[in-house]
A and B are shown apart, each in its own frame.
Chain A
């Protein structure tokens, strides 16, 4: 079955960077785009960007341009999201989400989430 398993929680100081990983299994890694979505405590969902695991091309939300980098490792079927220059407002749960082929730009499988806390 399809599984997206994310790395564990992180606590970072303002100004630092964080990298969250999302290891996939149960499907052909290069056949499905992967997205990153975050959710601040008690808040809604915010799309961050997309990576094509086949060629590595990316598109980022305007809000995160210059601060986010998404990469992939096809040998381990893992995608990564690095967010730099962290500030307190980046405290959130970060999810990887696989794009559906049936539903277009919808997300049919999600990781369990990685909590990132930014605090001095």
Chain B
């Protein structure tokens, strides 16, 4: 199975900060990478697909990029609603593996 390694596991930040979360794939996944946001007690929400495409309705402060097998989620200016856990997910193969998550906290 393809392994997805996220870093950091926890990130402390403040409203207005620019933050970056990284996800590294154990092998090439082309651009088949998604990012989700999950808040406590809620289902995940799709933010980004195909590494850099913004899901409809998602604020433009969220963006994604890629470089080889390394993928990045950037939030340009943190808002109070953004404090949550973020997961990456590969979907090149029928294992659909997720990263272990990054908890973004104040």
Query: Which positions in A face B, CB cutoff 8 Å?
Result: 35, 44-47, 50, 59, 61-62, 95, 97, 100, 102-108, 110-113
Q: Is there contact, CB below 8 Å, between B34 and A106?
A: yes
Residues of A within 8 A of B34 (CB): 103, 106-107
- B100 touches which of A44, A59, A61, A62 (Cβ 8 Å): A44
Verify if B87 is at the interface (C-beta below 8 Å from A). Answer: yes
Residues of A within 8 A of B91 (CB): 104-106
Total CB contacts across the A-B interface at under 8 A: 60
Q: Is there contact, CB below 8 Å, between A44 and B96?
A: no
Residues of A within 8 A of B97 (CB): 47
Q: Is there contact, CB below 8 Å, between A44 and B101?
A: yes
Residues of B within 8 A of A111 (CB): 43
Q: Give the CA-CA distance A47 to B91 in the complex, in Å.
A: 11
Q: Is there contact, CB below 8 Å, between B87 and A95?
A: no
